[in-house]
């Protein structure tokens, strides 16, 4: 209602919504942009437009890295805990390459990072950025490395060095791709500030001393730099790790709850530091993943990592997917009748709900065991089987309606429906209401193959 009060109130529809109130609700959810209300940018509404822009601005500044379709946004959050509203921009994972790598090895690693993806609950998880580290300390060597990386990927880049001359040579190669510069500290801030002003790119400021970190952030913002990322240091063990964790929380609280705009910027963590103290690769990967998962939860917006081994990488990327799912909306799929494999009119017809995790688990268990079948997906508002039965979202009426809506009887001749074991109590009523034979399947879809051996085809119905 506060947002609505700043809108013109004409209900003109130019934003695509019927009323200004509907537009206001979508503004709050970030499903609409302020610029879509064209009347608001007329001269007579200038003050309202300014006040509304301030009202809608997130507590933590939102920063974009990279360009094009794979550009990423970090920060931009409004709450400390996702159940209070939701998190909008997930933690960006940047995996490293370095300038002392052989060119062939370098390009192969970039391709692995660029092309990595994993199917998870209805979507393909991918990685977010590549961090190019200067290990040689030589500006031209670094520039050649950055050039090679840029030729292999359109992912956002993080250019890493504390030497401003090295950073500048890298920037000359990719300044048009809006890379993130890492990092300015108390020793090089003047030179790095000059680079950032000249090339207009986002910058990371680094210091484990929070007073110094605040001072650096204030210096850059006072100079007109808006896109700042804060790195308060990531120390990988013992008291150092505990203090790192504490600094992240203190900064986030200061920016989010205390209104301290000096530090209201995205936070960067470097779990890669685990490799500085662990010599054995598997052990280092393990501890890197542990540290990464800690700071994914509290409260890194972007992080620089090293291990691209599945046992490390999958744990990190999956946690990001889970934490940054809107808790107010169950992840769901469309209701309908799916064909798995090449089913015939004698193939089994299974039933499940449209909760995404349930659906993809069942679909995977059936398809991976090469069971040609039909899968009837009932709309349960994105709720799993057991909860949907208890809450009434999965009931006789919804099953009957779905069977009829998608013409299931035209697909199979046997008129036999297999319902989940967790919905067993609906079997009798469903038979009475639909006229179909109902078989109760296993409680766990992973046991469908064994169930098929003893229960399919049914004794009657063919």
User: At 401, which CATH number?
Assistant: 3.40.50.11600
The model carries a pTM of 0.79
Are residue 42 and residue 68 in the same domain, yes or no? Answer: no
Q: Does the residue 160 lie in any domain?
A: yes
| pLDDT tens-digit map of 306-344 | 999 999 999 999 999 988 887 777 788 999 999 999 999
Q: Does the residue 266 lie in any domain?
A: yes
Are residue 135 and residue 278 in the same domain, yes or no? Answer: yes
DSSP structural state of residue 224: T
Position 458 scores a pLDDT of 86
Other residues' Cβ atoms within 10 Å of the Cβ of residue 213? 23
201 confidence band (pLDDT: 50, 70, 90): very high
| pLDDT tens-digit map of 149-197 | 999 999 999 999 999 999 999 999 999 999 999 999 999 999 999 999 9
Are residue 67 and residue 50 in the same domain, yes or no? Answer: no
Position 35 scores a pLDDT of 86
Are residue 229 and residue 188 in the same domain, yes or no? Answer: yes
Q: Does the residue 174 lie in any domain?
A: yes
Exposed/middle/buried for 361, CB within 10 Å: 0-12, 13-18, 19+? middle
461 confidence band (pLDDT: 50, 70, 90): very low
C-alpha to C-alpha distance for 41 and 20, rounded to whole angstroms: 15
Q: Does the residue 330 lie in any domain?
A: no
Which domain-ending residue is among 323, 353, 380? 323
Which domain-ending residue is among 264, 298, 323? 323
Q: Does the residue 329 lie in any domain?
A: no
C-alpha to C-alpha distance for 269 and 277, rounded to whole angstroms: 17
Are residue 129 and residue 258 in the same domain, yes or no? Answer: yes
Range of the domain at 159: 62-323
Are residue 85 and residue 138 in the same domain, yes or no? Answer: yes
Q: Does the residue 331 lie in any domain?
A: no
Is the pLDDT reported for residue 124 higher than 80? yes
Write the CA distances from 189 to 156, 203, 348, integer angstroms.
23, 11, 68
Q: Does the residue 124 lie in any domain?
A: yes
Q: Which pair of structure tokens corresponds to residue 384?
A: 């799993």
Are residue 48 and residue 114 in the same domain, yes or no? Answer: no
Are residue 421 and residue 405 in the same domain, yes or no? Answer: yes
Given the DSSP bridges, would you call strands 373-378 and 336-340 parallel, antiparallel or unpaired?
A: antiparallel
Which domain-ending residue is among 18, 37, 56? 56
C-alpha to C-alpha distance for 437 and 459, rounded to whole angstroms: 11
Are residue 76 and residue 91 in the same domain, yes or no? Answer: yes
Are residue 358 and residue 390 in the same domain, yes or no? Answer: yes
| pLDDT tens-digit map of 343-355 | 999 999 999 999 9
- Residue 8 maps to which CATH number? 1.10.15.40
The count of domains in the chain is 3
Are residue 44 and residue 69 in the same domain, yes or no? Answer: no
Closest by CA to 181, choosing from 150, 200, 202, 208, is 202
| pLDDT tens-digit map of 388-435 | 999 999 999 999 999 999 999 999 999 999 999 999 999 999 999 999
Q: Does the residue 328 lie in any domain?
A: no
462 confidence band (pLDDT: 50, 70, 90): very low
Are residue 207 and residue 282 in the same domain, yes or no? Answer: yes
Q: Percentage helix, strand, coil, to 5, in the chain?
A: 50, 15, 35
CB 95 within 8 A of CB 306: yes
| pLDDT tens-digit map of 33-65 | 888 898 888 888 888 888 887 777 678 899 999
For the chain, give the mean pLDDT: 93
């Amino acid at each position: 209602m506060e947002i609505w009060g700043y809108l013109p109130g004409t209900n003109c529809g130019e934003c695509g919504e019927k009323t200004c109130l509907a537009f206001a609700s979508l503004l709050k959810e970030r499903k609409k942009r302020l610029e879509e209300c064209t009347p608001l940018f007329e001269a007579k509404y200038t003050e309202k437009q300014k006040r509304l822009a301030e009202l809608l601005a997130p507590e933590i500044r939102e920063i974009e890295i990279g360009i094009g379709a794979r550009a990423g946004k970090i920060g931009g959050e409004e709450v400390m805990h996702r159940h209070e509203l939701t998190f909008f921009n997930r933690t960006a994972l940047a995996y490293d390459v370095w300038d002392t790598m052989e060119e062939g090895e370098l390009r192969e690693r970039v391709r692995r990072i660029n092309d990595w993806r994993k199917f998870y609950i209805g979507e393909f998880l991918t990685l977010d950025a590549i961090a190019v580290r200067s290990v040689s300390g030589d500006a031209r060597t670094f520039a050649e490395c950055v050039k090679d990386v840029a030729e292999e990927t359109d992912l956002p880049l993080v250019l890493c060095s504390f030497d401003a001359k090295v950073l500048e040579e890298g920037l000359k190669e990719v300044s048009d791709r809006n890379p993130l510069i890492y990092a300015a500290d108390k020793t090089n801030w003047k030179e790095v500030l000059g680079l950032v002003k000249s090339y207009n790119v986002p910058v990371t400021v680094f210091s484990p001393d929070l007073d110094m970190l605040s001072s650096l952030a204030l210096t850059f913002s006072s100079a007109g730099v808006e896109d700042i990322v804060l790195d308060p240091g990531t120390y990988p063990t013992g008291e150092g790790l505990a203090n790192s964790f504490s600094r992240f929380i203190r900064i986030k609280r200061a920016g989010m709850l205390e209104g301290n705009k000096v530090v209201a910027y995205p936070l960067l963590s470097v779990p890669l530091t685990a490799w500085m103290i662990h010599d054995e690769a598997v052990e280092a990967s393990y501890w890197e993943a542990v540290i990464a998962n800690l700071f994914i939860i509290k409260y890194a917006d972007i992080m620089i990592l090293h291990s691209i081994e599945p046992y490390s990488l999958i744990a990190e990327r999956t946690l990001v997917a889970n934490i940054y799912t809107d808790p107010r909306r169950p992840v769901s799929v469309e209701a309908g009748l799916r064909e798995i494999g090449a089913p015939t009119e004698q193939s089994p017809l299974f039933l499940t709900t449209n909760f995404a995790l349930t659906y993809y688990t069942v679909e995977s268990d059936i398809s991976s065991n090469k069971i040609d079948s039909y899968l009837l997906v009932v709309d349960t508002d994105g709720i799993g089987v057991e909860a949907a039965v208890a809450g009434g979202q999965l009931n006789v009426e919804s099953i009957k309606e779905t069977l009829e809506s998608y013409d299931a009887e035209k697909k199979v001749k046997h008129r036999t429906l297999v319902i989940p074991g967790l919905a067993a109590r609906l079997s009798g009523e469903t038979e009475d209401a639909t006229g179909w034979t109902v078989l109760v399947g296993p409680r766990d879809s992973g046991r469908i193959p064994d169930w098929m051996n003893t229960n399919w085809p049914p004794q009657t119905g063919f």
